[in-house]
Amino acid sequence: MVMTDVEPDVRRIRAGLGLTQGQFAERLGVTLLTVHRWEAGKSRPQRIARDRLRELAETLARQTAGRQPGDAAPPPAAPPELDFAGRL
């Protein structure tokens, strides 16, 4: 699947996964301030974070396919894979 370089909607992805900003930041291996700045439009995710955000968006889309409004939120997504240095 070819992805364009469109910025993912961080707030929509996070809220759809039912995570707080802090929980979301931990899953992505970034700071709470970073997630806050992304959602406020004060900064943009770097490429590796954008790629992970797109993966989470695709996961969310699969989880919500067929759900009805008012259904319970899906369980949180698995944490991202880290490399040997603890980076995404």
Look at residue 79 and tell me whether its pLDDT is greater than 90: no
Q: Is the dihedral angle over the CA atoms 56, 23, 82, 73 positive or is it negative?
A: negative
> Is residue 87 very low, low, confident or very high in pLDDT (cuts 50, 70, 90)?
low
User: 10-64, what's its fold?
Assistant: 434 Repressor (Amino-terminal Domain) (1.10.260)
Residue 16 structure tokens? 């759809």
Residues 6+ apart with CB under 8 A from 36: 21
Domain ranges of the chain: 10-64
Q: What is the pLDDT of residues 16-68, one digit of tens each?
A: 989 999 999 998 889 999 999 999 999 999 988 989 898 988 888 888 776 65
